[in-house]
Amino acid sequence: MSDKYDLVVIGSGPAGYVAAIKAAQLGLKTACVEQWLDDKDKLQLGGTCLNVGCIPSKALLDSSYKFAEVRDDLSVHGISVKNPKFDVAAMLARKDKIVTQLTGGIAGLFKHNGVTAISGKAKVLFGTKVEVTDAKGNVKELEASNIIIAAGSLPVNIPPAPIDNEYIIDSTGALELTEIPARLGVIGAGVIGLELGSVWRRLGSEVVMLEALDDFLPMMDLQISKEAAKVFKKQGLDIRLGARVTNAEVKDGSVVVTYSSADGEHTETFDKLIVAVGRKPNSEGLFASDSGVTLDERGFIYVNDYCETEAPHVYAVGDIVRGPMLAHKGSEEGVMVVERIMGEQAQMNYDCIPSVIYTHPEIAAVGRTEQELIADGVEYKTGVFPFAASGRALAANDPQGMVKMIAHAETDRILGCHILGASAADLVQQVVIAMEFGSSAEDLALTVFGHPTLSEAVHEAALAVDGHAIHIANRKKR
């Protein structure tokens, strides 16, 4: 006999667990199916983000940054620390403790809200039924009035660099390195590659990043990405663009990598090689042939603006559907779906989803880039304020980067904001809120910001849009 639920959620990452908790809070009998097991074969909630993604990588980023700050930057404050040492094992233990605390927290929230956690691999069947196979091969069937698929994504592997989990590793393996590689190669200079490369560069590795694209961070505003490239170069990251890896093999305890670029073929030898070329939807084997759910050629589930699939009462959210692979995007999609199941007219504003790269300085953005607006023929105006002119940034010895505000030329409505600098991830949220309410650059310019704060740079960038910045010389407007 099948177990019956109002809602079955597949996947317990940020998209899945948030949807499950929200549904239970609204009175739906809810189950969440998760196949992730820890090293003791115990159900592990949290998905990629909490276990091997957002959270553990940020733990390593923060630990490595604090070490680099002690080693390189404290003398300017009059603090002298001679020959600081770094304990990789302690860093990993701290990371694991944080992961355990947060994944255990989700289990507690499930219990508190009445969500049933089910261990096993799910398959969506015809008629909103879900087949679950546990680690021992036992199979049971769940009947659901509604299904939310939040199965997430997986690292992309490439044939020239086969993962062996010892010398050639993916982003998961890069979080478990027990020694600092003398020479580290990274395939891919996107978000994941930059964050992981930054961790090990700070700890002393020579890091070479091989990026197949000719442009650096092409999804970011061009002015920001150009400035970021200069900053990362100063930090010692060797970023080689237009470098297409053709072969990687292990020889005598090292990884020999061959890549081609505009000036020919090259060979480099590394102690470890991280493959960080992106992620793909985790949709393989997830559906019976008659489930009614349609996938595109890349494995993403086809959904409409409200995350409805082509199968009635079956929804999909997060990394497994169109749009940026961002935990917060999936979480909000999950909430939207649950509210729509309950009869509300909820919707997502996909124009106001922030994105962040947690390097130092951080890179954060929301809305349109300048190059996108040019391509679409939209008339716009910009305001830029450098952190070098910020009293708070200078006092903190963190003056790198800038805030760039973009507004519509006629209506003054904010179209985008792009930040390179300390605390960019938090600063951009101010603009996200403003954009959500349809604010103009003038609205931000007329808002009182505390002094001295980093957020004053957002205020000044908004003022600069119309040539009214106070703490820099304004560009003459045409």
Residues labelled as active-site residues: 451
Distance CA 354, CA 405 (A): 14
**What phi and psi values does residue 45 have, to the nearest 5 degrees?**
-85, 165
User: What is the distance between the alpha carbons of residues 416 and 405, in angstroms, rounded to a whole number?
Assistant: 6
Q: Which single residue is written with the structure tokens 């069947």?
A: 125
Q: What are phi and psi of 231, to 5 degrees?
A: -65, -45
- What DSSP string describes 338-392? HHHHTT------GGG--EEE-SSSEEEEEE--HHHHHHHT--EEEEEEEGGG-HH
Query: Cα separation of 392 and 49, whole Å?
Result: 32
Q: Which amino acid, one-letter code, is at 456?
A: E
Q: How many CB atoms lie within 10 A of CB 62?
A: 17
Angle between the N-to-C axes of helices 14-25 and 88-113, in degrees from 0 to 180, rounded to the nearest 10: 30
What is the rounded radius of gyration, in angstroms, for the C-alpha atoms of the chain? 24
CB 177 within 8 A of CB 272: yes
Angstrom distance (rounded) from CA 278 to CA 475: 39
Q: Which residue intervals of 26-170 are DSSP H helices? A: 47-52, 54-72, 88-113
Q: Which of 363, 74, 397, 416 is nearest to 231 (CA)?
A: 363
Q: Distance between terminal CA atoms of the chain?
A: 74
* Adjacency order of strands within the sheet including 254-261: 244-251, 254-261, 264-270
Rounded CA-CA distance 134/121 in Å is: 6
Distance CA 257, CA 208 (A): 11
* Beta strands at 414-421 and 402-408: parallel, antiparallel or unpaired: antiparallel
The H or E element containing residue 189 is none
Taking the C-alpha atoms of residue 356 and residue 212, their distance in angstroms, rounded to an integer, is 22
Cis peptide before 452 (omega within 30 of 0): yes
Closest CA to 217 of 200, 235, 202, 231: 231
Beta bridge partners of 208: 185, 238
| Residue pair 115/107 in contact by the 8 Å Cβ criterion | no
Q: Which of 375, 381, 425, 378 is nearest to 401 (CA)?
A: 425
